[in-house]
Amino acid sequence: MNEIIFIDTEIGKNDKKLYEFGAVFKDDSIKTNEILEADFFLKKHSFNFICGHNFIDHDGIYLSSTILNDNLKDKNIIDTLFLSMLLFPNKKTHKLLKPYKTTLNIQNNPLGDAFQTKALFELLDAKFNSLNNEIKQVFVDLLYENKYFNGYFVYKNLKPKKNDFSKIIPNDIKYEEDDILLLANTMPIELAFIISFLYTDRKAAISHIIINKFPNISWIIKNICFDLKSTNISKFALNEFGFNTFKEFENINEGLFKISQKDIINSALNDNSILAILPTGGGKTFTFQLPALIKAQAYNALTVVISPLQALMKNHVDSFKEKNQKL
């Protein structure tokens, strides 16, 4: 039978000392700063799964060097941090909720965190159950051997079948089957996060927590979600701003080629580093708004605009909202 114990610890950052141990098993629980009491609690219960939030990279590392390891070392690990990132890839934060904390009480409570981990696990398990079977199997195929996910798939009694990953990619994504196969073999965890993201509503960018841990994801998403050659800039401008003409400007050096708004926009879409100096009324705002919108629609890219005047920033925002149909 799949019995899960939920564990959390409070460990000193500098001295690496165990200050408190919290655990929940069925209707029983413990909160102690005595390692022998924690050991007794683990020994009196029969479980084959350990569930914790960031357990593998945090709690598990410390506990592996204590007497508690005898009761933990052969158990499957379910790490809710990574499961949360996989199932909610555009969630802003994946920190464990700590409702017991207040402005007056900022101390961590491992037992409270163990209960919160249990609640989070139940939410994540329900989310996984709601996925269609094809996506579930793709996750298993890509992540079964990964230490952060193996325990959960063992708990669900799921095993890899090595299906065709390319069939699960949404139709609006342009890709080569060989590229998807290469990603599956070389970056399986990144591909799993990307597939999960592609099946969300994509109203928010992929979580910065995921990007920080797996920076290649940004590059992969851009390359499979955005193709400049197939992007009709003129049509996009007409749909979003009501016009599809681009101003041209004489080059500051006489005799050299002219430059247009379209050249600037194409450079921005190609991620080139550019410096464009245009006259007043030359449409500078349009040259950064259009590529920002195209990228945001394709793969939720973030564009940061630095403007010298607060009034000018407000003017940009108001103008953008007025012209853009999607806001």
Note the pLDDT of residue 118.
Answer: 97
How far apart are the C-alpha atoms of 38 and 22, rounded to whole Å? 8
Segment holding 265, helix H or strand E: helix 261-269
**pLDDT tops 90 at residue 122:** yes
Please report which confidence band the pLDDT of residue 29 belongs to, taking 50, 70 and 90 as the band edges: very high
**Residue where the block lists tokens 């990007």:** 211
User: Which residue, 183, 196, 210, is CA-closest to 82?
Assistant: 210
Note the pLDDT of residue 146.
Answer: 96
User: Which residue, 48, 62, 91, is CA-closest to 204?
Assistant: 91
Per-residue pLDDT tens digits for 255-299: 567 788 888 898 888 888 888 888 888 888 888 888 888 888 777
Note the pLDDT of residue 101.
Answer: 75
User: Which residues on adjacent β-strands are paired with residue 22?
Assistant: 8, 31
User: Which residues on adjacent β-strands are paired with residue 31?
Assistant: 22
Please report which confidence band the pLDDT of residue 321 belongs to, taking 50, 70 and 90 as the band edges: low
% of the chain beyond a pLDDT of 90: 45
Long-range contacts of 209-212 (CB under 8 A, 24+ apart): 209/85, 209/93, 209/94, 210/85, 210/89
**pLDDT tops 60 at residue 326:** no
User: Which has the minimum average pLDDT: 20-34, 73-87, 106-120, 310-324?
Assistant: 310-324
Note the pLDDT of residue 97.
Answer: 86
Note the pLDDT of residue 320.
Answer: 65
How far apart are the C-alpha atoms of 190 and 139, rounded to whole Å? 11
User: Which residue, 281, 282, 289, 278, is CA-closest to 313?
Assistant: 289
Per-residue pLDDT tens digits for 134-173: 899 999 999 999 999 999 999 999 999 877 766 777 666 6
Q: Which position has the higher pLDDT, 252 or 211?
A: 211
Average pLDDT over residues 55-72: 94
**pLDDT tops 50 at residue 208:** yes
Segment holding 104, helix H or strand E: none
On the CB side of 147, CA atoms within 13 Å amount to: 6
Q: Report the relative pairing of strands 76-79 and 4-11 from DSSP bridges.
A: unpaired
Note the pLDDT of residue 6.
Answer: 98
**Angle, helices 284-299/216-225, rounded to nearest 10 degrees:** 100
**pTM, full prediction:** 0.81
Per-residue pLDDT tens digits for 222-249: 877 777 777 888 888 888 878 888 888 8
Torsion angle of C-alpha atoms 272, 276, 282, 288, degrees rounded to 10: 30
How far apart are the C-alpha atoms of 33 and 187, rounded to whole Å? 41
Please report which confidence band the pLDDT of residue 198 belongs to, taking 50, 70 and 90 as the band edges: confident
How far apart are the C-alpha atoms of 293 and 305, rounded to whole Å? 13
On the CB side of 246, CA atoms within 13 Å amount to: 17
Local structure of 98: helix, strand or coil: coil
Note the pLDDT of residue 26.
Answer: 95
Q: Report the relative pairing of strands 259-260 and 248-249 from DSSP bridges.
A: antiparallel
Local structure of 225: helix, strand or coil: helix
